[in-house]
Chain A
Amino acid sequence: MPRLSYRRALTRALADEMTRDGSVFLLGEDIRVAAANVTSGLLKRFGPERILDTPLSEQAFTSFATGAALAGARPVIEFQIPSLLFLVFEQIVNHAHKFPLMTGGQCAVPVTYLVPGSGSRTGWAGQHSDHPYSLFAHAGVTTVVPATPADAYGLLVSAIRCDDPVVVFAPAGAMEVRADVDAFDPVPLGRGVVRRSGSDVTVVAVGHLVHDALAVAEELAGQASVEVFDPRTVYPFDWDGLLASVARTGRLVVVDDANRSCGIAGEIIATVVERFRLAAPPRRVTRPDGAVLPFAPALDRAVQPGRDQLTAAIHLCLKDGS
């Protein structure tokens, strides 16, 4: 069974899809030399026609990809930093996302937006440390945040094959995860997974925070039986999978690296309480409202959801209503 890093899982997904489908091509900044260490080896295998280094013109090349997709190609764009998605929000949301409906179904826009190293990269500070997956969920753009190497592979493959635009966040906090991968299969979009079974409380964790949630669940093993649910795709969300979990545990805690106000945690809690009577008020651990990550490492950490906060939230949730 090959042991694979998250990063190499992304590389392999790109290579496999480029091999399988000649309409797939990559574009982005410094991808030929693989500055982000994701597109490594691809220039040699696929040549400069399919591995395009772009000028620093994000807005134009994002819509260039939309145009290429309208004409039958399957572009994958690599973004060097997560905050660049703010710059191209217009191109993704107001164009790529809207074209199929606005044209009355005349077209599809199969573009993949890949963001390796999303969220905090300790020390990159305010303008390079955002994690805006909730924004895309809000806009209704398919958005995945894989936590493991197998999911990084399988979700990126599914993103590339999807006929709609898909944003793939690869959190910096997960990029160095390594795991045994037994099969290289596509992972369906919109399907979550129970990472650890439990009976007292369901913890929904997004992206790299899945690993924190698993560690906390393990720490609490003697005191509480924690189920960890990894949605994998934050939009469209696997409500059936989550509701089945909550039906078993009756309690819900969400840990989410997005800003609190209008973050995905709020949507998860709202949807669950609309459809299910929990045994205790749900809890969420998030970034603060309006988060700007300060530079100093201790401040950067303080603004991200932490294991201590998650543990405290689980304790509170278990205490309430019992």
Chain B
Amino acid sequence: MTHADPVRLYRTVRLIRRFEERAIDLVRAGEIVGGIHPYLGQEGIAAGVCAALRDEDLVTGTHRGHGHVLAKGADPARMLAELCGRVTGLNRGRGGSMHAADFGVGVLGANAIVGAAGAILTGAVWARRRRGDDVVGATFFGDGAVNEGMLLEAFNLAALWRVPVLFVCENNGYATTMPVAGAVAGSIAGRAAAFGMPAAAVDGQDPEAVRDVTAAAVARMRAGGGPELVEAHTYRFDAHHTFEHQVRLDYRPPEEVAAGRARDPVDIQGARLPAPVRAEVDAAVEAELAAAVDFALAGPHPDPATALDHLYASGRTARTGGG
């Protein structure tokens, strides 16, 4: 099986779907403190993009970042342990949902500041290529981020210096409660055009379509092309953040939510598989996640005496705050 085959793609979207559902259960159970921004409904984008990347390629994610980290190849058990704040987590319990990172698989981190990661990824890809490594990058961001100056500045740097970065806009129609039409003057693709960057629109609910559009862009970039933008149209199936499960915010009409949920990337990709294959994948994912939950909850909590570990990479220790 190649990296990009339909079964593998299905497995990834299914894994992210069930991971998020289990994570929401753990939020409700009080095991994940602070809540999460669920990626439910948007799985096809991370899965499709990462299926067209190589292991050594780099990505950055967002506050809604679990899917990006998993699709790039992080271990779901260690990811879940991170969400539960255990030392066995990807970031040793220091990062949590919005800062999950796994440099070993090219994930330079989810990022909690909207629009901030694109420039970071651009610099990372530039430096790796300068060292002679044949890598490209993909940076995920939402429709809300296209109004942040720093992201547009990153577009300019990447285009100016021809850094092969795929800017992946996950347009789910809203930035928290703000609809795209209320926030974006002009268009998202038009922002790319302003910097001379090619832009493509894709159905983000179709993992194979996302994979194909990414593969084409990545091929051009590997052949010496500059950055490109992909605008993936999608829908967030659940809350902006799990706090919305407690506090009702009224901004999406129920008919719209129903219509959005009707186009489910897991079902769209699943329908491409023979039923027994799909059932087999589902069972394997369940088993993997059951083990992941056990692993996460069995991990030790970090010792408060180590709270400042890793503050300085130079090994410097900081003065503590006591009297």
Q: Mark B309-323, 1 if CB is under 8 A from A, else 0.
A: 001100000111111
| Interface SS, B side | loop
A127 contacts chain B at the CB level, 8 A cutoff: yes
Checking A57, A127, A289, A295 against B94 with a beta-carbon cut-off of 8 angstroms, the contacting residue is A295
Chain B: minimal CB distance from A4 (Å): 20
A296 contacts chain B at the CB level, 8 A cutoff: yes
Q: Are A303 and B321 in contact (CB-based, < 8 A)?
A: yes
Q: Mark B284-323, 1 if CB is under 8 A from A, else 0.
A: 0000000000000000011111111001100000111111
Q: Are A29 and B178 in contact (CB-based, < 8 A)?
A: yes
Interface residues in A117-143 (C-beta closer than 8 Å to B) = 121-128
Q: Are A29 and B176 in contact (CB-based, < 8 A)?
A: yes
Find the residue from B35, B86, B93, B322 having the highest chain A CB count within 10 A. Answer: B322
Q: Are A294 and B93 in contact (CB-based, < 8 A)?
A: yes
Task: Report the stretch among B144-152, B261-269, B275-283 that lies at the interface.
Answer: B144-152
How far apart sit A259 and B144, CA to CA, in the bound complex (Å)?
31
Task: Report the stretch among A70-78, A222-230, A280-288 that lies at the interface.
Answer: A280-288
Please give, as numbers and ranges, the residues of chain B lying within 8 Å of A183 by CB-CB distance: none
How far apart sit A190 and B97, CA to CA, in the bound complex (Å)?
39
Please give, as numbers and ranges, the residues of chain A lying within 8 Å of B73 by CB-CB distance: none
Q: What total of chain A residues lie within 8 Å of the partner, measured CB to CB?
A: 55
Chain B: interface residue count, which band?
Answer: 35 or more
How far apart sit A121 and B85, CA to CA, in the bound complex (Å)?
15
Q: Mark B82-114, 1 if CB is under 8 A from A, else 0.
A: 100110000101111111000000000001111
How far apart sit A287 and B321, CA to CA, in the bound complex (Å)?
5
Please give, as numbers and ranges, the residues of chain A lying within 8 Å of B200 by CB-CB distance: none
Chain A: minimal CB distance from B26 (Å): 12
Please give, as numbers and ranges, the residues of chain A lying within 8 Å of B308 by CB-CB distance: 288, 303
How far apart sit A119 and B302, CA to CA, in the bound complex (Å)?
21
11 more CB-based (< 8 A) A-B contacts, given A55-B184, A296-B94, A312-B323: A55-B175, A55-B178, A56-B144, A57-B149, A285-B321, A286-B321, A288-B320, A296-B93, A298-B307, A302-B307, A309-B321
Please list 17 pairs of residues, one from A and one from B, whose beta carbons are closer than 8 Å in the complex, sorted by A's number. A35-B249, A37-B247, A53-B177, A54-B183, A56-B144, A56-B145, A122-B33, A123-B34, A123-B35, A124-B98, A288-B311, A294-B307, A295-B93, A295-B95, A298-B304, A302-B307, A314-B323
Chain B contact residues, CB within 8 Å of chain A: 32-35, 82, 85-86, 91, 93-99, 111-115, 144-145, 147-149, 175-178, 182-184, 247, 249-251, 301-308, 311-312, 318-323
